[in-house]
Amino acid sequence: MEICQSMNADSPCRLEGAWVPVAASVSGKELVVAELRVKYLVLDGHDYSIVDRSNQIVDRGEYLVNDSATPRTIDIVGRDGPNAGRSMLAIFELKGDQLTVCYDLDSNGRPENMQVDEDQLLLSITYERAAGVLS
């Protein structure tokens, strides 16, 4: 696992910035994005924070990516908030300024792919890069 150090187009460092959720689903069933607590996911260096709709940081910790895995993986380790002390193993896809992260809510394991099997409780959230949020 690596912490971001380069900024080339295919680098996991392209994850850095503020991200706004634009779509979400659990086990293939669409969720209403406006009802999510997340207003922004902020990735900065190896740290993450979740900003809620009242502009409060409600969750924070660190993340590590494995850019050489297929699919790419991200380990999210909570330090403060509801996920403190918890590690979440996820996979992600980055296409331009769109980031999709997929978690298995039923197990401590990592999803093998973005496709939902009947016996999995997968949470998938798609974000778009938020221009100018951190400036």
Token pair belonging to 107: 């197990």
Please report where in the chains the tokens 């978690």 appear, as a residue: 103
Specify if 123 maps to a domain.
yes
pLDDT in tens, 11-24: 445 899 999 999 99
CATH code for position 84: 2.40.128.490
**Structural domain contains residue 64:** yes
Assigned domain for 134 exists: no
75 domain residue, yes or no: yes
Number of domains in the chain: 1
Q: Say what the pTM is.
A: 0.85
Q: Tell me, yes or no, whether 90 lies in a domain.
A: yes
pLDDT (tens digit per residue) in 32-89: 999 999 999 999 989 999 999 999 999 999 999 998 999 999 999 999 999 899 999 9
Domain range for 89 is: 12-129
Reply yes or no: is the peptide bond before residue 111 cis, omega within 30 of 0: no
The rounded distance, in Å, linking the Cα atoms of 25 and 4 is 28
Q: Is residue 3 part of a domain?
A: no
